[in-house]
Chains A and B, each alone.
Chain A
Amino acid sequence: MIQFKHVSKRYPPGIDALPDIDFEIGDGEFAVISGHSGAGKSTLLKLVAAIERPTGGVVLVNGQNVGALKRNAVPYLRRNLGLVFQDQKLLFDRNVFENAMLPLSIAGFPPREAAKRVRAALDKVGLLEREKAMPIALSGGEQQRLAIARAVVNRPNLLIADEPTAHLDHETARDVAQIFRDFHQVGVAVVVATYDSGLFPEARRIALNHGRLA
């Protein structure tokens, strides 16, 4: 599903975020990328979603060489991924339902079918009752659950999350971790970058240290 072959990423003016990295994550696998701040976790996930391009090596996602993708092909790659960001990236002028609907609107889903999918996703993360609420009215944990609902509404086969529990208290973080676990159990491959790999004891751990596999 994800293959990194001698991948390097260098930021100007010559900072090596990932000097040379090799690993593979299979279909339906649950992997945690752990490491201290600045270890290269976020960079690695950005390379998977083509938010960044590798400086060297090959990144394969679902068999596609992400680094060689043309600019106009990148959106179609991202539509097959579920992305959850540390800062959620919710739209605060739209309600919960509209936020979760966004990926389906982008993909041009018929409204009735899209609404069904959105409600199903909100139900899975326990936000169906709050579909009309604005994000500002949600707690940190609820905002993160909304971000997860938005990530899975497209029914991707790969869910990627960057520090999804970073700003949450321990109890809320455990709830959010359970949601990822639930999605993994229905066959979705999950890759979570986190400093707290203890939240996902059953997941395969890929530890990073200064951009190298530890």
Chain B
Amino acid sequence: MIAWLHQHRDAFLLALRRLTATPLNTLLSLLAIGIALALPAGGQMLLANVLHLASDTAPSPQISLFMSLDAPRAASEDIGARLQKHPGIRAVRFVPREDTLARMRTSEGLGDVIDILTKNPFPDAFVIDPSDDSPAAMEALAKDLKRLPRVEHVQLDSAWVRRLDALLKLGRTGVALLAVLLGVGLVAITFNTIRLQVLTQRQEIEVSRLLGATDAYIRRPFYYFGLLQGLLGGFVAWAIVRLATLWLAGPVGELAQLYSVDFALAPLSRGDSLLLVALAAVLGGLGAMLSLRQHLGD
């Protein structure tokens, strides 16, 4: 066990030595990895900010429930009581048919039309704030409400939620696509760096084998190299996104003030930052593994 730990320590130190042996090459590789990873990471940061902005500034989606025209007031009151107790409903407001008629009569251009009607054409209605305003939850709640007695129509006011949801989905898909493509790029960069390392260390590999080195011993420094390069590239990506956030914070703040919105650009969350760095290290290790399989063989 101690021997194994010594070997890992030696492999790690050797990988560090190889990284620092060619500082310019290492710096350029780290920049390439950093920039590649900064794009999806920056996209994720922007998406999180858009989501935050949307939830802060957009009105809550609502559901309108209309009773049938012949429903007596008692039936409406009964439905009102049920809605108050419904677990999926956060708030409910009753709109009597008389109030709707009066509001329509005062609406420009509608007063004359309303006056010639012999009876009130509007039903009693309820405006409902759901507990969960995700499109799926609202759909489910609407279906549930439609089953109530004397309910004629249930209308979801969630078009904008759907649009925003679709936009966010598009954004997330774009970020995921970018992450996959640039992640493959990172693997390719590491693959090539390790290939060059294997070529330049060919003699050391041969000598080590002759002196009793196992395959694991020979591969270990290369794995550490890939992991370290990925890890450091992840840090560079994080730093790029952080700097970009600081740079954009001023102009975004000014824009938000012009729209009277209280909004400040937030940097990558701690979780996303950790994920970025960890993922970069894993991809570096993967690049090393593929390269060793290809270039060191059996």
Contact = CB atoms under 8 A, between A and B. Distances in A.
Interface residues of A, number: 25
Interface string B275-298: 000000000000000000000001
Given A91-B203, A91-B204, A106 B213 contact: yes
A89 interface: yes
Contacts of B3: 107-110
Interface stretch (B4-12, B27-35, B110-118): B4-12
A171 B215 CA distance: 40
B4 A89 contact: no
B214 to A, nearest CB: 5
A72 B10 CA distance: 21
A22 B209 CA distance: 28
A64 to B, nearest CB: 14
B210 A89 contact: yes
B207 interface: yes
A49 interface: yes
Contact of A102 (B4, B206, B208): B208
A187 interface: no
Nearest to A91: B204
B140 interface: no
B6 A111 contact: yes
Interface in A71-109: 71-72, 75-79, 83, 85, 89-91, 102-103, 105-109
Contact of B213 (A51, A75, A150): A75
Interface size for chain B: under 10, 10 to 19, 20 to 34, or 35 or more residues?
Answer: 20 to 34
Contact of B211 (A72, A106, A110): A106
A150 B208 CA distance: 12
A206 B136 CA distance: 88
A109 B6 contact: yes
Given A91-B204, A108-B6, A76 B212 contact: yes
A115 B289 CA distance: 32
Contacts of A91: 203-204, 207
Contact of B6 (A49, A79, A102, A110): A110
A205 B214 CA distance: 34
Interface string A14-58: 000000000000000000000000000000000001010000000
Given A91-B204, A110-B6, A111-B6, A51 B210 contact: yes
B211 A108 contact: no
B196 to A, nearest CB: 15
A49 B7 contact: no
B217 interface: yes
A89 B211 CA distance: 10
Contacts of B210: 49, 51, 78, 83, 85, 89
B2 interface: yes
Interface of B: 2-4, 6-7, 10, 203-204, 206-215, 217, 298
28 contacts: A49-B210, A72-B214, A75-B209, A75-B212, A75-B213, A75-B217, A78-B211, A79-B211, A83-B210, A83-B211, A89-B206, A90-B207, A91-B203, A102-B208, A103-B212, A105-B6, A105-B10, A106-B208, A106-B212, A106-B213, A106-B217, A107-B3, A108-B3, A110-B2, A110-B3, A110-B6, A111-B6, A150-B211
